[in-house]
Each structure stands twice: as structure tokens, then as C-alpha cells.
Amino acid sequence: MTGAVHIIGAGLSGLSAALKLSASGRRVVVHEATAFAGGRCRSYYDASVGMTIDNGNHLLLSGNHAALDYLRDIGAADRLIGPPSAEFPFVDLGSGERWKLSFNDGRVPWWVFDSRRRVPGTRALDYLPLARLLRAHPGKAVGEVIRCEGTLYRRLVEPLLLAALNIDPPQGAARLAAAVIRETLAAGGRACRPLVAREGLSATMIEPALETLRQRGGELRLEHQLRGFCFAADRVEALDFGSETIPLGSGEAVVLAVPPYAAVSLLRELTAPTEFRAIVNGHFRIDPPAAAPAILGVLGGTVEWIFAFPGRLSVTISAGDRLIDAPREELAKAVWGEVARVTGLPPTLPPWQIVRERRATFAATPAQDARRPGPQTRWRNLVLAGDWTDTGLPATIESAIRSGSRAAGLVAKVAE
């Protein structure tokens, strides 16, 4: 017997589970606490800049195969744009130097042997110690496995791991750093092409997913927050939404796809990450210079990445906890000062917005990584999803989407 599957949370993990299940003919109902789908990956109209912007710049890589499968499923793969090959322009604010990292397509890293493609100021041999990360003990931190200093670290390893793990790299879990390197640098340039949702995150990843879900008979209930579970022996018997209780028949199941702090408030005995790191984004309404690359790495300042969108420049600062309480206008001015230096645009502050997501991702330390649960619970019709469940990846779109697919696969078995 196959009954409905109730998915709690309309972030990417919940949507990915809903799409997989509905594609196989299951009836799905997605319950979302807020008034919008997308969770931490969404767009909204911002009055300060007078345009629709994303809550944060999101970068995908061409090796994010689950995310690309998801986009193909919803007919939106062509909405991600990026250069034809894996190229990353950088600028160093301290020295004024500019260079372009340019990976070759195949798995053999020829780029390391080519001084025009690799990081300036490095030698091929400098890259060898990175292999140690791939063999690191799961409980180790990056800083215990490799030397976190020197030109290669500052110009490649630090920006890569800071962006992917959202933590000061020496503190990051070596296991997660290894997964990133395995799926990017070690997989060759074909897996490293940067991809950006130029028309916005919602138009690319969320709205087409909701439309596909509707076509497959799925239902989305917004402003419908789960308040509690009613358990009976080894299964969830009903879902408590406050004003409404939904009983679950045999063969019906639940995918809990909420952030870890919400999951723990619903399942008190759950072990889950308890520490988080912030991401700060600055958005500036201004036409980028014609030659501005879609994404530019910045070293030696506060800004880490500059994204160029039509009519807007946006910056990302990972592990931005130190900036959470900084006065907004001062921060906007400081950030714009760096952007103006790098782009040659006038120093006058254009219309701006600063978005600070305090709990952007769980803190990717070895200790927090060890608190990530698998998808199964002791209730046979309740499965977990979310970028924070143990996917072996840091908290990213790819992790969220893989967790949703995995949960869908397990739910399919509940009905057997």
C-alpha cells in the first residue's frame, strides 16, 4: 500500500525529496512554516536596492551532479550560466596583482605544471601535500593535516575551503575538505566550472520545482508549521500543525527536511549540529563594468567574492560571524570601498543592502560533523533530510539535494 508522503520544509532538501517521490507516482504534500518556498536558497524583492535579489550569492560547480540532475528534472538546467571552462579570476587587494586560475578539463592536473595556469608564486611540488587531505583521519581538522600558510594556501586552498566549508579552514573537518577536493580539484576542470543562477535563485531552483511538483499532483502548503509529532510504538501516527492534526495511515510517511535547530525542537532525542557560521552578503545596485567577470575572487580584504549580475554587484563573505554586529552602513561603505578599488567604479556608495544570515550553515568542525545523523530514525515512517544530515559533504546545495533524494529512496521502502 502506498499512501501520501508528508514533507516538512520546502527548502532544497524537501523539494528534492518531493520531486523524486512525485516522479515515482507517490502523492506528496509539502508543509512549509514560512510564506515562501526555498528556505536558505531564495530570492526576494528588496526595497533598498529596488530589485529582486537573492538572500545570498550561491555558487554551484559543474561537478555538483545531484544539483544538475535536479535542475534537469525541473527543466531549468539552462538557467545556470558559467564560463565554458574552469576559470577563476583573482585579485589581491594587498599587492594589486591579478591572475586567472585555469584548470584543464581532464583528471590529470596538467594545470599544476603550467605556470600560466596555476597560482602565481607556486611550484608544482607545492600542490603535493594536498593529497594528504584525501587520506586524513575523519576526526582531524584541516589545520592538523596540512600547513595552513604560504602562497598556495593563501591563494587557493583558503579561498576554496572557506567558500565550500564556510569556516576558517584550519578549524574545518578534514573529511569534508577531502570530499570537496575529491569532487572538484581531483575530478578535473570538467567538475570545476563555476555556475551561477543569473536570473536569481528562485527563478532557477525554486519556482520551476514548484511548477513541476504541481504538474505531478503534489501539494504545497505555505505557512503550515509542524508543531509536533504523535508517535505510536515504532511509527509516527499523526502530525500536529496546531490548528490541525493530520493522521497518518499505514504506508504513509514523513520526510523531516528542516534545519537542525528546528529538527531538535521536534525530536528532542536527536543528536544534531548545534553550532553555526554566518554568511554576509552585500548587494549594490549599479551596472557592473562591461569587462567584469561573472565571479571574481578577492584576497587581502574583507570581501571574498564579487558576483556580477545585470544591474547589480554582490559580494560574499563566508564565516562572517565577526561582522554580524558591525554597524550596517559602515560595513556597506567598507565593502563598497573594496569593490570600487577592484572594479574601478566610483567610490560613492550606490543603493545597497547587507544581508547577514547568522545560521547560514552548521559549523563544519570535526566535532560538529560527528553530530550529523544519518537519514533513518527509530520510527520506521520518519526519515530525515537537510544539508546538515550526514551526506559526507559540507552544508551546500549539493548536500541538501542529495539528502532529499536519499530520503525519498528510503521512504519508497516504507510502503513495501
Ligand X SMILES: Cc1cc2nc3c(=O)[nH]c(=O)nc-3n(C[C@H](O)[C@H](O)[C@H](O)COP(=O)(O)OP(=O)(O)OC[C@H]3O[C@@H](n4cnc5c(N)ncnc54)[C@H](O)[C@@H]3O)c2cc1C
Q: Does 226 bind ligand X (CB under 6 A)?
A: yes
Structure-block grid coordinates of residue 330: 559602515
Structure-block grid coordinates of residue 165: 566549508
Q: What is the DSSP string of 80-143?
A: EE--SS-EEEEEETTT--EEEEE--SSSS-GGGG-TTTS-TT--GGGGTTHHHHHT--TT-BHH
Q: Does 40 bind ligand X (CB under 6 A)?
A: yes
Q: Which is nearer to ligand X, 175 or 372 (CB)?
A: 372
CA distances from 17 to 30, 119, 130, 158, 403 (A): 10, 40, 35, 33, 8
Q: Does 12 bind ligand X (CB under 6 A)?
A: yes
Q: Which is nearer to ligand X, 142 or 263 (CB)?
A: 263
Only segment of 100-108, 131-139, 207-215, 395-403 that touches ligand X (CB under 6 A):
395-403
Only segment of 111-119, 179-187, 251-259, 344-352 that touches ligand X (CB under 6 A):
251-259
Q: Which is nearer to ligand X, 281 or 381 (CB)?
A: 281
Shortest Å distance, C-beta 414 to ligand X: 20
Q: Which is nearer to ligand X, 112 or 411 (CB)?
A: 411
Q: Does 2 bind ligand X (CB under 6 A)?
A: no
Of residues 341 through 370, those in contact with ligand X by CB under 6 A are 357, 360-361
What single-letter DSSP state applies at residue 33?
S
Q: Does 160 bind ligand X (CB under 6 A)?
A: no
CA distances from 306 to 120, 339, 358 (A): 21, 8, 20
Closest of 54, 332, 32 to residue 197, by C-alpha: 54
Q: Which of 6, 20, 31, 312 binds ligand X (CB under 6 A)?
A: 31
How many CB atoms within 10 Å of residue 318? 22
Q: Does 58 bind ligand X (CB under 6 A)?
A: yes
Q: Measure the CA–CA gap between 68 and 64, rounded to whole angstroms.
A: 6
CA distances from 367 to 7, 157, 172, 259, 372 (A): 29, 22, 10, 18, 10
Shortest Å distance, C-beta 80 to ligand X: 12
Only segment of 12-20, 100-108, 119-127, 367-375 that touches ligand X (CB under 6 A):
12-20
Q: Does 286 bind ligand X (CB under 6 A)?
A: no
Shortest Å distance, C-beta 184 to ligand X: 12
Q: Which is nearer to ligand X, 36 or 110 (CB)?
A: 36
Q: Measure the CA–CA gap between 89 and 109, rounded to whole angstroms.
A: 18
Q: Does 44 bind ligand X (CB under 6 A)?
A: no
Shortest Å distance, C-beta 319 to ligand X: 11
Q: What number of H helices and E strands is found in the chain?
A: 13, 20
Q: Which is nearer to ligand X, 341 or 359 (CB)?
A: 359
Q: Which is nearer to ligand X, 211 or 223 (CB)?
A: 223
Q: Does 34 bind ligand X (CB under 6 A)?
A: yes
Q: Measure the CA–CA gap between 8 and 256, rounded to whole angstroms.
A: 5
Q: Does 172 bind ligand X (CB under 6 A)?
A: no
343-312-203 Cα angle (round to 5) = 140
Q: Does 392 bind ligand X (CB under 6 A)?
A: no
Burial of 23 (0-12, 13-18, 19+ CB in 10 A): middle
Q: Does 32 bind ligand X (CB under 6 A)?
A: yes
CB 222 within 8 A of CB 32: yes
Amino acid at 25: G
**Would you tell me which residues interact with ligand X (CB under 6 A)?**
8-14, 31-34, 39-41, 55-56, 58-59, 225-226, 257-259, 262, 279, 281, 357, 360-361, 386-387, 395-398, 400
